[in-house]
Amino acid sequence: MTTTMLLRPIALSDLPALIELVGRAGVGLTTLPPNQIELRKRIEASEATFAGTTDPRDGLYLFVLLEVSAAAPAGKLAGICGVAPAVGLRQPWYSYRVGQVVHASQELNIFTQTPTLFLSNDHTGHSELCSLFLDPAYRKDKNGVLLSKSRLLFLAQHRGHFADRVIAELRGVTDANGKSPFWESLGRHFFSMEFAHADYLTGIGKKSFVAELMPKHPLYTSFLTPEAQAVIGVTHELTRPAQAMLASEGFRFAGHVDIFDAGPVVEAVVDDIGAVKASRLVPARIVDLPNADGVAHLVSNTHYGDFRASLVTLPTGTQACPLTAEVAALLKVKDGEDVRVAPLSTRDR
């Protein structure tokens, strides 16, 4: 049996491995708090969402990336990612919109542009890419892009479950001790807690409580420390690859930042996302030997609760998807059944 990286919906049986994985993530992985009860809630929410037994306003799709091999036929947990169908419909969703005000007087020959932060609920109802984390040991062989982008095939395939626009919050700058210069300059004055604790409260679904303690009036950015001003809209070093990946798919920073660490929120129109536009349905063909010609493609089945995705080498523009019986079984597709394919790299589309 060859080794295959496979994405599937999360299951409660993934909990122990997930706890171990999240324990390594540290501060900043807001949506996955290192708390067994919370993680269990997340998994149950995801299962309920796939089962259709939850209110869409509470919806959450979580997927795990598994390394399936002879040694671990059920798969070894390598990473996790998620999509929320709609944010801010249960609790308010807050972000700061970066704006500016101009103070000018021709008479006095004064013209000053002052950046501002406006508390907004602008992303209410948008879908959100969230909860991405890949085990550092697996940060190789295109695993990162597979993990992040295979969600986009799910979005394309089940378009009706999602909003027209999708966002992703990128982790903002924190120092080695988990301190956020933005938080130290702003949030700290309005609370009496550390950034890590606010971040944790957010992760367990209390972000709107925290947000309600934040300043409601627009802020003049120039009143913040230079350190804080410097990190507005700046991505944490470790999150830059994720940002580059999202950018290549068409996600753009449109002036919204996180209210706690000022990390950028990137956004895209779902139908304009590169992988969504490039993806096509082609029939699967069971073959004896894996196809060696072509480039890496994201391949997923068209199922909902049994969604599976993986990477397969295919010629660009292929009219069919040759799969070995082994991979077809992992993807849960039969010969002749449609699969959704998209070249992994934007260069190959």
CA-CA distance, 81 to 27, in Å (whole number)?
17
E strand map for the chain: 4-9, 61-68, 76-84, 95-105, 110-120, 127-134, 165-169, 219-220, 252-257, 264-269, 280-287, 295-300, 309-314, 321-324, 338-343
Residue 190: CB minimum distance to other proteins, A: 5
CA-CA distance, 279 to 297, in Å (whole number)?
10
CA-CA distance, 4 to 290, in Å (whole number)?
12
Residue 237: CB minimum distance to other proteins, A: 27
Q: Give which of 303, 308, 298, 349 is closest to 328, Cα–Cα.
A: 308
Positions in the binding site for other proteins (CB under 8 A): 101, 103-105, 107-108, 110, 112, 114, 116, 185-186, 189-193, 201, 206, 209-210, 212-220, 222-224
Task: Match 């830059």 to its residue by tokens.
Answer: 240
**Closer residue to other proteins (CB): 63 or 200:** 200
**27, two tokens:** 């501060």
**Closer residue to other proteins (CB): 34 or 115:** 115
Give the largest CA-CA distance in the chain. 81
**Closer residue to other proteins (CB): 107 or 288:** 107
**Closer residue to other proteins (CB): 36 or 112:** 112
**67, two tokens:** 């390394």
The one-letter amino acid at 211 = A
Residue 208: CB minimum distance to other proteins, A: 10
In the three-class reduction of DSSP (H, G, I as helix; E, B as strand; rest coil), residue 38 is classed as helix
CA-CA distance, 311 to 349, in Å (whole number)?
15
Residue 183: CB minimum distance to other proteins, A: 13
Catalytic site positions: 236
CA-CA distance, 176 to 162, in Å (whole number)?
37
**Closer residue to other proteins (CB): 206 or 240:** 206
Residue 236: CB minimum distance to other proteins, A: 24
